[in-house]
Each structure stands twice: as C-alpha cells, then as structure tokens.
Chains A and B, each alone.
Chain A
Amino acid sequence: MIAYYSNLAMVTSAVLYLLAMTLHAAEWASARTAAVAEPELAVVGAGAPSEAPAPPASQRPTPNPRTEALGRTGLAITMIAAATHVTGVVLRGVAAERAPWGNMYEFITTSLAIAVIVYLVLALKFGMRWLGLPVTLLLTIGQGLAVTVFYVAVSDLMPALHSVWFVIHIIAAATSGAAFNIGAIAAILYLIRSRAEERGGLRGYLSRIPSAETLDRVSYRFHAFAFPLWTFTIAAGAIWAQYAWGRFWGWDPKETWSLVTWIIYAVYLHARATAGWKGRRAAIVAVVGVISFWFNFIGVNLLVSGLHSYAGI
C-alpha cells in the first residue's frame, strides 16, 4: 500500500515536472518575443493565454510581466513537484524498510530529488531561477525514464548490498551525480551564452541569464563540490569491494567507467587553469564528463554485464 502511494507520488512528480518545464519554455519563448519583435510567436505552452498581446517592437532589457508570471508559476509547480517527489522517495524507503537506493530506479529518483532540492535553494535563495528550464528538462527526462523504464517493484536487497557502505557509497554517488548534472547545465548555458556574447546578439532569454563569466563560475563551484565527493564515492566503493569481493579494484566495468568519469572531471579542473583550455574547451570537457557519468549509470548497467548488475536493472 505504501509502495503504491510512493509510485503514485513519483508519477505525479514526473507529470508536474513536465508541466513546469512547459511553463519555463513558455517563459523563454515570451522573453524572446519581448526582446525582438517577431511576427511569428514561438510556440507557447500550457498556461499561456492564447491571445498574446503583440509586444512592442522596441528592444526591452526588462522582461514583460507575463514572462515573469510564467517563470514564477513554473517555479511554484516545481516546488509542488519536488515535495511530491521527495515524498515518493521517502515512502519508497518506508515500503522497502531500508534506504531506498537498491537499484537503478531508486538511485535515479534519489539523485534527482537531491538535484531538485539544490535547484530550489538556488532559485529561492540566490535568484537563480534562470536554471529553471534546463533543470526541469533534466527532471522530466530523468523522472520520466525512472517511472517508465527503470521501475521495479519494492523488494529486499541482494546479499552483496548488506553493508553500511551501501548507504555511504550510494548517497555520495547520488549527491555528486546531482551536482555534476547541475554543473553540466551551467556549463551548457555557458557555452550558449558565451557564443552569443561573442556574436554580440544577446537577445531574448539569453539576455536574462547571467554573464558567461558568472555561468562559468557557477559551473566550477558545482564541479569543485562534486569532484572530491566523487573521488570519495570511488574510494568508498573500493573499501566496500574489499569487504565484499576481497579486492578493492578489479576493473569491473562500473569501476572502470567511474575512473573514466573521474579522469574527465580531473581534465576539466586542470583545463580551467590552463591557458588555451580555459572557457569553452573546459566547458565541453565538463559536458563530456556528465555524458560519461550517465553512461556509467545507464550504459554499463544495461549493455555490459558486471558485478554492479543488481536486480535486473
């Protein structure tokens, strides 16, 4: 019964994230029309009035009230979705009578719950609502995949997971995963914004997100937080492996890809301090890093068989 409510909460949150994403997309679109008067309005999603008032042709640096309203509504819906999402994760743990991190479904829902909480803190405390569209996009895709592809019913853990390291290793992985993803979003926005700044045509939503320099700094901060934690995740996993399998490193596919991910982020951190690599190249490395992280999470579990294959998926 509890498991049923957990599932219900997860699915609801996925739908709400989709709604929030639509609203943020509408926010971006309306900001675009606000800055440059284009005859054809961009597709406006749910929640937007069908008869959009024709924006004045003048370039306006400040957003129109409708843009603002869309953004605020999107944020409000994200908050409701986050509450539902966290409830879903907690109920899952209650239903399973253990920490809810025993399989891919539980891992991805927990990691995304951490991500959405971090985003809400950033948006409410630090005025970083501009992360709204990419973050809700990530949440929609992630939560959507979780409830459709990765879903497995509640069950006990296999013996290899009976360990305190289960909690330590996985919460560290989920937290650093959340931070890597938000860092990657900032890196992608940096790439878009810095290109726009070079071309000189800062229009629409791009004029409302922070400068490329700030985006780079935000991205760095998330990576600087996530990287030591990721190192710790690997080390904790190695300690656990020593207990469970009698060796701390065995080039299991999951271990290998954790190391590959680690190396890519090490390259990112060094690139930021190297002339010629600073900026765009470093940001691209960060994006490659998050792709590697996702491959390690999904690809290794589904494509390659190894010791980290638990519970089917």
Chain B
Amino acid sequence: MKPLVSWLRFIWTTLTSMRTALILLLILGIAAMPGSLLPQRPTNPVGVADYLRAHPDYGPWLDRLDLFDVFGSAWFAAIYLLLFISLIGCILPRTAGYLREVRALPSPAPGRLSRLPGHTAAVLEGTDAATVLDAAEAHLRSQRYRVRREDDSISAERGYLRETGNLVFHICLVAMLIGLAWGSLFQFKGTAIVVEGQAFSNTLTQYDDFGAGAAFSASHLEPFTVRLDSFDVRFETGPVQTGAARDFNAHVSVSRPGESETTGSLQVNAPLQLGGDQVSLLGHGYAPVVTVKDGNGEVAFSGPVVFLPQDSNFRSDGVIKAPDARPERLAFQGVFLPTAVSGGASGMVSAFPDALSPELLLNAWSGPPKQETGAPENVYALDKTGLTQLMSEDGNPVSVALTPGTGYKLPAGLGSITFDGWKRWVKLQVSNTPGGWLVLGSVMLAVLGMAFSLTVKPRRLFVRVSGPGAAGARGDAGSSPADSTPDDSGVGIAVSVAGLDRVDGRGGLAEAVAALASACGIGATLTPTEDEEKR
C-alpha cells in the first residue's frame, strides 16, 4: 500500500509541477500543427481520400496514427486532459494559499530595512513615532495598501488582484473546458440544400448530412420550417476581383408551431436564431428547372434539379433522373454554365458566377425500367448500370446545349427535355451547441483575469522607527541603518523606509518609496540601488 501511495504522490507532484505543465503546453502546440497541415476527415473527407491515394506508401501509417483526425484523436485528448489535470492540481493549492493570504494581515516588516530596495532613512526631530506611523499609515491607506501596524513599524502590501486575476484566469480555463465538453455531448450540426420556393423542416430526414454529440436525441431539434422565398446575390463586376461574392441575401419565411408565419432575411453574418437552434447561410448554387417528357408524351419529371458548383464561376454539375419515363427510363448528365462562353479547347466554360447567359449542356441516357428497390441513391451521381448513352444520327453521343426556354427531342422517339429556366438554391446549416455561453463567459472572464494578473504590481512597503516614543523598539536592529546618521541619544527618532517588489519586471518602486518617505516627513534624497535602474 505504502509504495502505491508514494508512487501516486510522485505522479501527482510531477504532473502538477510548472515544468510538466510547460512541457505539456508545448506538446499540445506541436500536436495541433499536423491538424492544420494535413487534410482532416471531419472538415475535408475528400482531401483525405485524395491524400491517401497520392501517398499509398506512408498515408495509411499517418491514418493509423489518427493524423487525419488529430482533434478527435485519443492522443490529442490525452494531452489536453493531462494538461487540465495539471492545471487543476496547480489551482487548488494556490487558491487555498491565496485565501489564507487575503484573510491574514501582511507579514511583519523585516528587522533591517537597509538591505531592501529604495531604502531611505533619516532622523527626524520634533516628532514622535506615533505621529510618523500615523502619517505613513494614512498615506498607505490612501494608496489602497493593506496595512499591518505595530508599535515600531508598518508593513503594507498591495497588488492582491494579481493573484486573483491569475486564479480567475486558470479557473476560467477549466470552466471553458467543461463548457466545451458539455457542448460536444449535446451539440448537433446539419446542412440541407433548399431551392427557391421550397422549404426546409427541421426534422432529421430533411438533412443532407448531419452530425451530433453522444447525448443528442432527435427531440432536441427545435420544430420550425424555413421556406426560401428568394435569394439575392451580387458579384463584383468591377475590374478588381471580378466575380468575387459581394452580397448574399436569402429572403425566408419562418413558421413555428403555434406562431404565425414571419418573413425575414438570412445573411452570411446574420443567422436566424430559432429557439436554441441557429440557421446559417453557408453556400449557394444553381438549380436548372427542366421538364422531361417520355416516349409516351407524358411528363416524367418536372422541376428544379440541384447542381453542385465546381469552380468559382459556378460551372455546376448535376444529374437529371426520370426513372418513371416509359417505355424507357431516362437520365441526363448535365453541366450548368451561368455565364456560358466558349473556352477554346476546353469547350464551353462559365466566365462569371452570376447567371448572365445561362446554358445547360446535356448528355442523355436511357434504359429499361428499373425495379424500385427502395435503396438510397446518390442524387448527384448517375449509376449507369442498365443504361446506354443515346447516340445521335452521326454516331456521336448526344450532346446538346440548351438556353432557357429551349428544348431537345431525343432520338428514336424516347421523349424530350426542355430547359425552362433556373432557380438558386442555398445551403443552410442548422446547429446548436449548448454550453456556448459558458465558454464565451469563461473566456471573457479569463481575459479580464489575465489582464489583472499581467498588469497589477504587487508591492510591499515598510516603515520602521526607533528612538523615543517607539515603544518596544528593537534595539539597534532597525534603528541604525548603516548609511544614516543615527542619533538615538538625542530627541530625534530614526525613521527608515523601504519597499520590495515580489515580481520582477516592474518599475516605479523608487517613486513609491519616495512618496512614502515624504509622507513620513523625510525630505530625503533617495538611496539609489541597482534595482532602480530606469526602464
């Protein structure tokens, strides 16, 4: 049992030492670096896959070390948990010591002040010890020192806020971690694409992708419906940064149970706050509106189809599927160009992100009807099994370019497609991270505490008198500073003043001691010491 206890004690003292905390901090900093330099799964799964393909030799090893999910990895958690244990181990004893200190009076003045910085001494006549000490005490109290008055000396201290700030800062870091842990348990974040005129209801099935913490349950979702009425965009048309996004504004109608529908606007820096859930505008794109008629002349599909932007000028890819078309089901692979221009060898390209002269380029596929399996299908990709590409009469694959309002009749009487127009879509993110206010509050309080701990000057000042009237004068010890002219036998009393800064990197001690000395009635010149070198 004994060895275990001493071993645990050893672990604890090692872990809570400043040196260990320093090393852990450094390791945490270094450990965070690969997370910013390598693609990370949570934010960039495609990047990770690309990286693994490009580096088949050592990529898997990096993966085994969790280097593609650094901030979710066990070893990263181990570092910061150790750090916070170390932090708590540092805070507890310091808080206890601090509480003792603020309740107690400052410790008594040292017997001999002459060795302390800023020491000044003089023999004063026509006064007595009590008067001098009264004056000193009044001065010190006006300077907001805590004063310990004894018969022949005063010891004063100020700057307790430094340690207060220090402790507040470190306690707030722990509170922040609790807030983060709380948030990560209950948080959720999901995105959904909503086309103009369509609506999003906050239920799990409506999300395109969704992630949540361990303690999340679907009942946490705030019930609401957001309809996208219209979406305005403005792009830079001037010569500088042409095509850069300048303004996004989504006009939405929000309905919540038991409330009448309200309209509002959703912008990049102005999310909607619905209960605890926040709806943010993350992205946008185009959805061409098409009508597909099948070989029987029936409408097999009609409506907007979400295309995903591929470049900064919104060349967008998408797939139009008409599985119900008869006799053959139909599918189209399309490219939407908001501002179509001829790009030379690379064919048609988009020259500007806004829809100035939109075109829809299509390839067509057909195949026998497929049995409904109910298996989920990627709406952005075309599964070509069972499909054959339609060929035009010259033997090349069908490739058509449609402008709004135009259509194309498929060969062999399979049907037709018309490009009716286009709509915009927005990518909405709904998120809720409880504990955010605890995190924010702790950080702000931590900054405040840090400011105090870095700027408050803890300082101690002392006065010692000896001679007539100084009851209980301690013989020679304090009364005869070497560099003053002691005159104990006369009517004068010897007064010496000095100060001490507990933290280096502080100026102004000499001035503080001089002010105290003059408050005591010493019109003395300072005894300069090495510590008092100006900045």
Contacts and interface: CB of A to CB of B under 8 A. Distances in A.
A248 B436 contact: yes
Interface residues of A, number: 64
Contacts of B268: 159-160, 162, 244
A231 B447 contact: yes
Contact of B25 (A159, A251, A267): A267
Interface stretch (A67-75, A84-92, A213-221): A213-221
Contacts of A266: 25
Interface stretch (B199-207, B239-247, B380-388, B411-419): B239-247
A263 B37 contact: no
A270 B240 contact: no
B28 interface: yes
Given A163-B269, A228-B454, A231-B443, A220 B25 contact: no
Interface string B23-34: 001101100110
Interface stretch (A8-16, A133-141, A149-157): A149-157
B477 interface: no
Contacts of A270: 18, 21-22, 25
Contact of B444 (A211, A235, A312): A235
B429 A246 contact: yes
B431 A158 contact: no
A311 B446 contact: no
B267 A162 contact: yes
Contacts of A228: 447, 450-451, 454
Interface in A268-294: 269-274, 276-277
B19 interface: yes
B535 interface: yes
Interface in A215-264: 216-218, 220-221, 224-225, 227-228, 231-232, 235, 238-240, 242-248, 250-253, 256-257, 259-260, 263-264
A253 B278 CA distance: 24
Contacts, number: 151
A213 B531 CA distance: 10
A304 interface: yes
Interface residues of B, number: 57
Determine chain A's interface SS by DSSP, over half rule: helix
Contacts of B22: 267, 270-271, 274, 277
A248 B450 contact: no
Given A155-B236, A256-B32, A276-B19, A247 B244 contact: no
Contacts of B450: 227-228, 231
B402 to A, nearest CB: 31
Contact of A259 (B18, B32, B42): B32
Contacts of B440: 235, 238-239, 248
Contacts of B282: 245-246
B336 interface: no
B245 A155 contact: no
A156 B18 contact: no
Given A152-B241, A256-B35, A263-B29, A247 B504 contact: no
Nearest to B72: A251
Nearest to B248: A159
Contacts of B429: 245-246
Interface string B243-274: 01111100000000000000000011111000
Contact of A217 (B19, B240, B451, B504): B504
Contact of A248 (B240, B271, B439, B446): B439
Given A263-B29, A271-B22, A158 B245 contact: yes
Contact of A251 (B19, B35, B189, B507): B35
Contacts of A159: 245-248, 267-269
Contacts of A225: 454
Given A154-B240, A162-B267, A267 B29 contact: yes
A232 B436 contact: no
Contacts of B93: none
B270 A243 contact: yes
A128 B535 CA distance: 9
A126 B241 contact: no
B19 A162 contact: no
Contacts of A20: none
Nearest to A231: B447
A35 interface: no
B490 interface: no
Given A126-B535, A270-B21, A263 B28 contact: yes
Contact of B37 (A224, A243, A304): A304
21 contacts: A155-B241, A158-B245, A159-B248, A162-B247, A163-B269, A165-B269, A217-B507, A221-B505, A224-B455, A240-B269, A247-B189, A251-B71, A256-B33, A256-B36, A259-B32, A260-B32, A264-B26, A266-B25, A270-B22, A304-B37, A311-B241
Interface of B: 18-19, 21-22, 25-26, 28-29, 32-33, 35-37, 40, 42-43, 71, 189, 236, 238-241, 244-248, 267-271, 278-280, 282, 429-431, 433, 436, 439-440, 443-444, 446-447, 450-451, 454-455, 504-505, 507, 533, 535
Given A224-B454, A246-B429, 18 more contacts: A152-B240, A152-B241, A159-B268, A162-B269, A210-B535, A216-B505, A217-B504, A224-B455, A246-B279, A246-B280, A248-B436, A252-B43, A259-B32, A267-B29, A269-B454, A270-B25, A273-B18, A300-B36
> Nearest 10 pairs between A and B by C-beta?
A246-B280, A263-B29, A256-B36, A224-B454, A163-B269, A253-B36, A159-B268, A155-B240, A246-B431, A153-B240
